[in-house]
């Protein structure tokens, strides 16, 4: 068998141009596939991270009926004991209590439906990234009387700037229409234009004074120490506080959760399609090699090289091509993915469309070590099966006829 392996290795380099063409095609196929997959993973992770950091949090707590119509009366039950429980839980990194009302924002230049969120600036900065997303103004530090933070898209629509006034109209608990005046202290820009277009932040104490209810808490956002414990934490809190609706980020935004779940399968489906396409080139090349060496193979079989060894010789030739191409393709992919995983890819030319999906304009590629190992194994498996067709063709050669072939 050692002799067969040596012959197979030498046969690859007898026609260097043909072998190098197959090797280069496999390298480029692996590189393009892995790099594309790493961009898909980066896009998906960035979309999820931006949603969690901007508004989802890991866990949200509401009154069971609050999300149906955003009724001001539907506040979180057992709020005091719930806060104590969250503070004493070592697995919870931070949480923020919010007062939320739906209303209409208006200026002299137009109006828009918005969600007004009353927050405690300190606790909210530990849960969301709004404080780091300021593009203009400050984060609740310069204006004392009813300051507000608005999204950049909303500011553009209503032609608002720092220290400009904005009027908000909403319906209170008694069904009466109320109108309040806020002053813009800051303008923020997150990865999601939809979020920036529909949300206004103000101090929770100011909003609770307007509502004349100092205990009006409609939502609690929670960040856990580890993303993997989110589901178990939801189950535990649901048992301890059954009067509230407690949901994980995946339950609130199932499309994000589903995308995260299927992404692992998509990687191998996508790479499988590329490798199967490459396999046709490998089969064609090796069949040509077998037919060109028909006389040579006939002579080898005539002098005693049995069909089993001929079969394995062709298989080894095909596998050796893969063993040369795969490490080069993997290394090239790893180098580029690692570089752009740190520096990112600037997609500002299509930034507006990405922001509509909640994705930033700079994409960071990502691929785990397990993916590299599994793709390498998948490449060898596909190559092995590709070698069976030319190897089987070699077995069908008749030594007497093959020796007389031109």
- Does the pLDDT of residue 406 top 80, yes or no? no
**Tokens (6 digits) for 137:** 């103004």
Averaged pLDDT, 11-36 = 87
pTM for this entry: 0.77
In a 3-state reduction of DSSP, which class is residue 248? strand
- Does the pLDDT of residue 183 top 90, yes or no? yes
Better-predicted residue by pLDDT, 308 or 52? 52
Choice among 224-238, 300-314, 391-405 with the minimum mean pLDDT: 391-405
Percentage of the residues of the chain whose pLDDT score is greater than 90: 46
- Does the pLDDT of residue 176 top 90, yes or no? no
Neighbours of 276 (CB within 10 A): 12
Going by C-alpha positions, the residue among 171, 55, 59 that lies closest to residue 113 is: 171
- Does the pLDDT of residue 291 top 80, yes or no? no
Any idea what DSSP says for residue 76? P
Contact of 112 with 155, CB cutoff 8 Å: no
In a 3-state reduction of DSSP, which class is residue 110? strand
Q: Where are the beta strands (DSSP E) in 231-299?
A: 245-248
303 falls in which pLDDT band (50, 70, 90)?
A: low
**Tokens (6 digits) for 368:** 């785990």
pLDDT computed for residue 402 by the predictor: 55
Averaged pLDDT, 379-384 = 90
pLDDT computed for residue 404 by the predictor: 60
- Does the pLDDT of residue 350 top 90, yes or no? no
354 falls in which pLDDT band (50, 70, 90)?
A: low
Contact of 375 with 383, CB cutoff 8 Å: no
**Tokens (6 digits) for 4:** 């067969």
The chain-wide mean pLDDT, for the chain, equals 87
92-107 and 165-171 beta bridge pairing? antiparallel
pLDDT computed for residue 388 by the predictor: 86
- Does the pLDDT of residue 87 top 90, yes or no? yes
pLDDT computed for residue 229 by the predictor: 93
- H-only helix segments in 241-348: 249-252, 254-292, 294-302, 307-343
**pLDDT, tens digit (0-9, with 9 covering 90-100), for 118-130:** 999 999 999 999 9
- Does the pLDDT of residue 293 top 80, yes or no? no
Rounded Cα distance between 298 and 300, Å, is 5
Rounded Cα distance between 134 and 130, Å, is 7
Rounded Cα distance between 142 and 136, Å, is 12
Percentage of the residues of the chain whose pLDDT score is greater than 70: 92
pLDDT computed for residue 232 by the predictor: 94
- Does the pLDDT of residue 23 top 70, yes or no? yes
- Parse the chain into domains and list their residue ranges: 2-52+257-403, 64-243
**pLDDT, tens digit (0-9, with 9 covering 90-100), for 98-143:** 999 999 999 989 999 999 999 999 999 999 999 999 999 999 999 9
- Does the pLDDT of residue 332 top 90, yes or no? yes
């Amino acid at each position: 068998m050692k002799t067969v392996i040596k012959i197979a290795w030498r046969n690859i380099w007898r026609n260097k141009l043909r072998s190098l063409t197959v090797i280069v095609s496999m390298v480029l196929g692996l590189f393009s596939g892995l790099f594309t997959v790493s961009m898909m993973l980066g896009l998906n992770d960035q979309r999820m991270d931006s949603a969690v950091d901007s508004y989802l949090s890991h866990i949200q707590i509401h009154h069971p009926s609050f999300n149906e119509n955003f009724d001001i009366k539907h506040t979180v039950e057992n709020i005091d004991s719930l806060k104590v429980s969250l503070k004493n839980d070592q697995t919870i990194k931070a949480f923020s209590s919010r007062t939320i009302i739906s209303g209409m924002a208006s200026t002299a230049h137009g109006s828009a439906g918005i969600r007004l969120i009353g927050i405690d600036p300190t606790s909210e900065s530990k849960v969301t990234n709004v404080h780091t997303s300021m593009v203009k103004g400050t984060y609740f530090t310069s204006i004392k009387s009813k300051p507000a933070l608005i999204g950049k898209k909303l500011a553009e629509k209503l032609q608002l700037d720092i220290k400009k006034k904005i009027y908000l109209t909403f319906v209170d608990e008694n069904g009466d229409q109320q109108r309040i005046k806020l002053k813009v202290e800051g303008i923020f820009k997150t990865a999601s234009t939809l979020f920036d277009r529909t949300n206004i932040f103000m101090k929770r104490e100011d909003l609770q004074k307007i509502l004349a209810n100092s205990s009006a808490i409609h939502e609690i956002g929670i960040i856990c120490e580890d993303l993997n414990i989110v589901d178990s934490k939801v189950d535990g809190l649901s048992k301890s506080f059954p009067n509230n609706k407690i949901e994980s980020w995946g339950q609130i935004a199932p499309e994000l959760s589903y995308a995260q779940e299927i992404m692992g399968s998509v990687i191998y489906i996508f790479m499988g399609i590329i490798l199967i396409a490459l396999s046709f080139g490998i089969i064609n090349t090796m069949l040509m090699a077998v037919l060109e060496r028909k006389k040579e193979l006939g002579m080898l079989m005539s002098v005693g090289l049995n069909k089993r060894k001929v079969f394995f010789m062709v298989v080894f030739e095909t596998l050796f091509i893969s063993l040369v191409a795969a490490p080069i393709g993997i290394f090239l992919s790893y180098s580029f993915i690692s570089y752009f995983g740190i520096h990112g890819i600037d997609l500002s030319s299509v930034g507006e469309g990405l922001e509509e999906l909640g994705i930033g304009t700079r994409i960071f590629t990502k691929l785990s070590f397990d993916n590299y190992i599994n793709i390498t194994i998948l490449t060898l498996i596909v190559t092995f099966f590709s070698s069976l067709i030319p190897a089987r063709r070699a077995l069908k050669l008749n030594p007497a006829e093959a020796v007389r072939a031109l």
